[in-house]
Amino acid sequence: MTWFRMAAGALCIALAGSLPSLSLAQQSAPAQQPAPPAKPATPKPAAPKAAAAKPAATAHAATGAATDTQPTLLGQYADWGAYTASPGGNKICFALAKPKSSKTEPAGRSRDPSYMFVSSRPAEKVKNEVSVVVGYPFKTSSDATAEIGSAKFAMYTQSDGAWIKNANEEARMIDAMRKGGDLTVKGTSGRGSQSMDQYSLKGLAQALDKIEQECR
């Protein structure tokens, strides 16, 4: 079920609050320790749909758990970093990238930083789960899309996060990401703004290999 996958992935998404400092470490000194995590944003109200209530509550709980967790950089591979963390004593690993370009229409609409994650959580038997933090609350009940060349994947949205809608397509998406050059995420905000974030996939394959070694 979609809400179950969202609940399972909320913990990695919740780490986004500490990632602005980590992204600077990617660019300048990959081996240095990341700065203390930023104060988490005020939780947004859950969407009225019953199916969304449980993952929204889980994401809020995960944010509280993540505030005492500092992800550790395992290695920087071109545009992707490999990280590990152990919130609540459960080890997780994830590859992370920032978009190389972002566009919002109408122009000038403010939004927070965007990130893409590919996460693995051995305790939950989850491997290579794709998720996105887009930097604004998505329009309620709207889908985002991820495009890699001619391949397109629908993404279920909740607040400012998105997960692949059809779990059966995730392995195909990861394969396309390993082989592709760029990935573009498109979405619509609750205010009607259209966004397009383009991610370089250079270094992703090596980052995924690293987190697979770390979180077997």
Beta carbons of 120 and 82 less than 8 angstroms apart: no
62-73: pLDDT as tens digits: 333 444 468 899
pLDDT computed for residue 181 by the predictor: 96
pLDDT computed for residue 9 by the predictor: 54
Q: Domain tally for the chain?
A: 1
Does 43 sit behind a cis peptide bond, omega within 30 degrees of 0 on the bond before it?
Answer: no
Task: Return the CATH number at 191.
Answer: 2.60.40.1880
pLDDT computed for residue 62 by the predictor: 32
101-122: pLDDT as tens digits: 999 999 888 899 999 999 999 9
Full domain range(s) for residue 23: 2-214
pTM: 0.74
CA distance readout (Å), 98 to 6, 60, 113, 117, 197 = 21, 23, 8, 9, 9
pLDDT computed for residue 40 by the predictor: 41
pLDDT computed for residue 30 by the predictor: 36
CA–CA gap between residue 50 and residue 115 (Å, rounded): 27
Query: Can you name the residues that pair with 55 across neighbouring β-strands?
Result: none
Which parts of the chain register pLDDT below 70?
Answer: 1-69
For Cα atoms 50, 67, 79, give the angle at the middle one, nearest 5 degrees. Answer: 90
pLDDT computed for residue 77 by the predictor: 98
pLDDT computed for residue 23 by the predictor: 43
pLDDT computed for residue 59 by the predictor: 33
Identify the CA nearest to 44 among candidates 145, 122, 108, 133.
133
pLDDT computed for residue 149 by the predictor: 94
Query: Can you name the residues that pair with 75 across neighbouring β-strands?
Result: 82
